[in-house]
Chain A
Amino acid sequence: MIQNTFLAPGYDIGLIYKFSERFRYSLTYYSDVDLGGKDEVSVQGYTPFHHAQLPQRLYVGSAVNFTENWLGVLDVGLIFPNSGAAVPGTDLSSSDDPIPSGTSYYVQYHAGLEYYVVPKTFALRIGHYYQPSRSEDDPDRYHVTGGLEYVFWYIKASTAVDYAKNYFNFSLSLAPSAKFWAAGKKAMTGKETN
């Protein structure tokens, strides 16, 4: 197996502004990252990347606590064009006929709702996001997401699904709960935390 690994630096910059107990706003910028060069990225005669580049992205987000139990979020992102990005044609054995990719600006959005059935213990989530295609011959994708989270003792367990046409993903997560972190800090510093 031939393997090449590319390394490249990048950075993100973000702001979160808490306007009030009910409203929060965010602004996040992701730099572009150039992960691969042009035609020198070739494996066994096949050129998978004509130019692998993560584009610049800018996101504006907001979160609203409608009530103590209900939270709503909305994020809108602007994805910048790539310079000279392209993907191969439909024949994977050939590097001919690359298809331009990321030639213009794209807008992405995500909306979600969270409901705490039991405050700080059991939450239900549902959401939707739009994934624009970066390539002319590939359709846009509309995702529906859902999940739940349960906190017991020192553990926070959550699960989530992400569904779209020709796509499905399921995730499980186990993590220390806020109670665990508070206990750890108290043990180390003797101070109580919220």
Chain B
Amino acid sequence: MPGWWDATIDLGFLKQGVSGVKTRVQAKSNKLAYVYGGFGFKIHDWMDLSFGALLYNAYQNTSEGQVVSNLSHLQDTSLDLQYDVLAVPVSFRPFENLLFGVNFRLLSTSEDFTTTPLDGSKGADDSKYISRAWI
């Protein structure tokens, strides 16, 4: 049975949406996977605006062997096959009890994981891991 793990560290200065900075570092299976950074503003009492960007992505900076390891984790996590490169969430609070948000994203996916078996082994069943994705 696969047993991969994630570790996430959020660092920041001031709460997002109150003109602050926020960074997320996420590691997967002993490898630094990606680093997100962002900052936010409170435009009005009823409106927040934030920007987030992918600062570092190990999937694009690893040898093939590391990619296999990273993808071992990804094989069953459909939405992890893609990731946000850029995110701009905007939220409004037109009424006290109602929060409305829009998030514009630039998404990316890499073809690396298709060049090697997804669990690092050989076998015809590897393709089923691909089919778990939203493709």
Contact = CB atoms under 8 A, between A and B. Distances in A.
Interface string B1-34: 1111111111111110010100000000000000
A91 B128 CA distance: 10
A43 B77 CA distance: 22
Contacts of A181: 12, 14-15
Contact of B5 (A8, A10, A169): A169
Interface of A: 1-19, 33, 35-36, 41, 43-44, 46, 48-55, 82, 85-92, 99, 101-102, 131, 133-135, 137-138, 166-176, 181, 184-185, 188
B3 to A, nearest CB: 5
Nearest to B108: A7
Contact of B111 (A48, A88, A173, A185): A48
23 contacts: A6-B109, A6-B110, A6-B111, A7-B85, A8-B107, A12-B103, A16-B98, A16-B99, A18-B99, A33-B107, A43-B111, A46-B114, A48-B114, A48-B130, A52-B135, A82-B135, A87-B127, A134-B133, A138-B128, A138-B132, A174-B8, A181-B15, A184-B20
A15 B135 contact: no
A19 B97 CA distance: 7
Interface in B87-117: 97-112, 114-115, 117
Interface residues of B, number: 57
Interface string B57-85: 00010011001000001001110001001
Contact of B135 (A4, A85, A185): A85
Given A5-B109, A18-B97, 6 more contacts: A36-B109, A43-B114, A89-B127, A134-B132, A134-B133, A171-B8
A1 B64 contact: yes
B8 A173 contact: yes
Contact of B134 (A7, A13, A102, A185): A102
B125 interface: yes
A52 B10 CA distance: 31
A96 to B, nearest CB: 12
Contacts of B124: 90-92
Nearest to A41: B111
A52 B2 CA distance: 25
Nearest to A15: B100
A51 B76 CA distance: 19
Contacts of A185: 14-15, 18
A2 B111 contact: yes
Contacts of B126: 92
B131 A92 contact: no
Contacts of A170: 3-6
B112 A3 contact: yes
